[in-house]
């Protein structure tokens, strides 16, 4: 396994982060435990979850959330590996009914932390990420609440998720005024087929010394050979995979053809492309099965050469570089 520092911190994390969104939903507890066992065995020391992950599986939880955290917490206790795992989770989305059940008020931040700690069966969260940008809560309130939890030893590092570039700058400016470390990472959707963060988010994260965690590196499975799989389902009289539009269908066909001619699995190429970007700390892989985890681990050994990267860029062109040069001078 390869490791990389998380932004400007002294913390090293594996080049693959194990995402647990499917745990408790499409992946049951036993299979989730096996996936975590294998991930740790392979050297993955970075696990990512969220309070809302897991799906509506339990009638005693009205909103159906918290199940993924519970499964990860049980595994940490069972395995005895808590001190060897960099544990990341998130807050923001509603977990209880009422107007204060979500977002980033100090009220919700305090309760969300206590609830996540209880479900994860631990006394601290290594990386606590704000799951979305809150336009209604001032940064002085957010950072004051976070500072209390950091002082209590309940949170070590704070990260963002789905933040705009200007939101990162606003957060870091207020943190600097409070003499705080501020955000150490940003988690954003990023793949060959979804490159919008190259405009503002990646440059902002780089400037502020933040790690970047890329989720959905396979673009929801579309970059994992979706057309070939859809054709197989069609032959079995099952519905084909819905795609965005004809133009995207053409790009996807060209992508799968390039992978086939190169003798490479599309999923491996998509993840290797994300890993090749020096701004990316690691992709977050969210396997539903052990086979999907093994595929992600295999992608670590695939190094794409410049001609291959240029061909991929031609099929899935990005926004044209960073702002403002991407659209101005």
Cα(69)–Cα(24) distance, rounded to whole angstroms?
Answer: 9
Rounded to the nearest 10 degrees, the angle between the axes of helix 266-275 and helix 306-315 is 100
pLDDT given for residue 233 in this prediction: 64
Cβ-contact 92, 130 below 8 angstroms? yes
- Supply the pLDDT for residue 186: 98
- The range of the structural domain enclosing residue 61 comes to 3-224+266-305
| pLDDT, one tens digit for every residue, the chain (329 residues) | 999 999 999 999 999 999 999 999 899 999 999 999 999 999 999 999 999 998 754 555 555 479 999 999 999 999 999 999 999 999 999 888 889 989 999 999 999 999 999 999 999 999 999 999 999 999 999 999 999 999 999 999 999 999 999 999 999 999 999 999 999 999 999 999 999 999 999 999 999 999 999 999 999 999 999 998 887 765 444 445 556 777 899 999 999 999 999 999 999 999 999 999 999 999 999 999 999 999 999 999 999 999 999 999 999 999 999 999 999 99
What is the Cα–Cα distance from 182 to 168, expressed in whole angstroms? Answer: 10
- CATH number reported for the structural domain that contains residue 85 in this entry: 3.20.20.100
User: Is residue 39 within a helix (H) or strand (E), and if so which, with residue range?
Assistant: helix 29-41
pLDDT at 236: 42
Question: How many domains does the chain divide into?
Answer: 1
User: Does residue 250 sit within a domain?
Assistant: no
242 belongs to a structural domain: no
Return the number of other C-beta atoms located less than 10 Å from residue 152's C-beta.
11
Give Rg (Cα) of the chain. Answer: 20
Give the integer Cα–Cα distance in Å for 236 and 300. Answer: 34
CA distances from 40 to 59, 85, 165, 242, 281 (A): 32, 8, 33, 35, 18
pLDDT value at residue 88? 98
The alpha carbon of 317 is separated from its chain's Cα centroid by a whole number of angstroms, namely 22
- Residue 324 included in any domain: no
Give catalytic residues, as residue numbers: 53
| Residue 52 resides in a domain | yes
Distances (CA, A) of 327 to 165, 199, 241, 320, 321: 16, 10, 34, 8, 9
Are 213 and 50 in contact, with CB atoms under 8 Å apart? no
Q: Does residue 48 fall inside a structural domain?
A: yes
Show Cβ contacts of residue 313 under 8 Å, excluding neighbours closer than 6 positions: none
Structural domain contains residue 217:
yes
Domain assignment of residue 140, yes or no: yes
pLDDT in the model for residue 210: 98
Cβ contact 179:152 at 8 Å: no
Give pLDDT, residue 84.
Answer: 98
- Residue 184 CA to residue 6 CA, distance in Å, equals 7
Q: Is residue 102 a part of any domain in this protein? A: yes
């Amino acid at each position: 396994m390869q490791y990389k520092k998380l932004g400007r911190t002294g913390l090293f994390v594996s080049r693959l982060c194990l995402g647990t969104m499917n745990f408790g939903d499409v992946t049951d507890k036993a299979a989730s435990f096996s996936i975590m066992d294998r991930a740790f065995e392979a050297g993955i020391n970075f696990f990512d979850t969220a309070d809302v992950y897991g799906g509506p599986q339990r009638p005693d939880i009205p909103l159906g959330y918290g199940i993924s955290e519970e499964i990860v917490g049980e595994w940490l206790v069972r395995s005895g590996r808590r001190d060897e795992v960099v544990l990341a989770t998130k807050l923001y989305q509603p977990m209880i009914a009422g107007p204060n059940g979500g977002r980033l008020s100090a009220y919700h931040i305090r309760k969300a932390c206590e609830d996540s700690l209880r479900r994860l069966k631990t006394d601290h969260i290594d990386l606590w990420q704000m799951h979305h940008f809150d336009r209604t809560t001032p940064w002085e309130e957010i950072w004051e609440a976070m500072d209390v939890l950091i002082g209590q030893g309940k949170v070590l590092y704070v990260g963002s998720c789905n933040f705009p570039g200007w939101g990162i700058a606003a957060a870091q400016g207020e943190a600097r005024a409070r003499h705080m470390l501020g955000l150490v990472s940003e988690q954003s959707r990023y793949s060959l087929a979804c490159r919008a963060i190259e405009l503002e988010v990646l440059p902002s994260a780089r400037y502020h010394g933040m790690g970047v965690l890329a989720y959905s590196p396979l673009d929801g499975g579309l970059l994992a050979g979706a057309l070939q799989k859809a054709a197989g389902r069609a032959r079995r009289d099952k519905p084909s995979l819905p795609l965005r539009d004809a133009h995207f269908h053409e790009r996807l066909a060209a992508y799968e053809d390039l992978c086939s001619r190169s003798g490479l699995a599309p999923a491996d190429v998509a993840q290797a492309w994300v890993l090749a970007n020096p701004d990316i700390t690691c992709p977050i892989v969210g396997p539903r099965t052990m086979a999907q985890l093994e595929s992600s681990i295999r992608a670590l050994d695939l190094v794409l050469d410049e001609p291959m990267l240029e061909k991929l860029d031609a099929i899935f062109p990005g926004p044209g570089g960073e702002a403002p040069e991407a659209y101005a001078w």
